[in-house]
Amino acid sequence: MARIPYLDVEDLAEADRDLLKRPIALNRALANSPGLARGWSGLAQYIRYGSRLDARLRELAIIQVGYLTRSPYEYSHHAKLGIEQFGVTPEDIHAIARETDHGDGGLPELETAVLRAAREMVTELAVSDATFAVLERALERDMLTDLIVTVGFYCGVVRILASLQIDVEDDYAPYLERFPLPATPPA
């Protein structure tokens, strides 16, 4: 159970009701601070709809963060969104697990570098020179910048989700059964 209340549209001032256009649990919790929720939404909307970074690559990176940090909410949400809206396949999600757990997901060089960059940012706090070089060869500068900021943003998101104990909604729970998270931290 979440540590702060999930607000509904009718709990908000008229001017803030737009904050719950997408009434997922995280947004309903963040609505406890409307100003923060509005700022948060601006960056989140840019990441999802404004960036030129390929949506599938973005989702692979976010799913990697969720998998590595064992964040049920983040992982299930982006597995569902990735598959339903952004070109991620079930095999991609299995490849993330293989890449994380065994070092060989069988994905092409760019996808592997994106996953490695996300892992390095989670575990080492920064992308290594070698990984950055691969990304820099394959992505235009704005896309590379967007990838790094996206991973950093979601590294923060998983910490907020855990600290506020945000619950996974019923619509997303089946993705945790279909693509289980590791019980212990990946090696």
- Over residues 80-93, the pLDDT tens digits come to 999 999 999 999 99
If asked whether residues 35 and 123 sit together in one domain, one would say no
Instruction: Work out the burial of residue 32: count CB atoms within 10 Å of its CB; fewer than 13 is exposed, 13-18 middle, 19 or more buried.
Output: middle
pLDDT the model gives residue 183: 82
If asked whether residues 65 and 35 sit together in one domain, one would say no
Per-block average pLDDT, block size 10, for the chain (187 residues)?
96 96 96 96 94 98 97 97 97 94 88 97 97 98 98 97 97 96 71
> Domain count of the chain?
2
If asked whether residues 109 and 72 sit together in one domain, one would say yes
Concatenating the DSSP letter of every residue in 12-78 gives: S-GGGGGGGSS--HHHHHHTTSHHHHHHHHHHHHIIIII--S-HHHHHHHHHHHHHHTT-HHHHHHH
pTM of this prediction? 0.94
If asked whether residues 33 and 85 sit together in one domain, one would say no
If asked whether residues 138 and 118 sit together in one domain, one would say yes
Domain-located, residue 69 = yes
pLDDT the model gives residue 18: 96
pLDDT the model gives residue 186: 53
If asked whether residues 18 and 96 sit together in one domain, one would say no
Q: Which domain holds residue 44?
A: 1-50
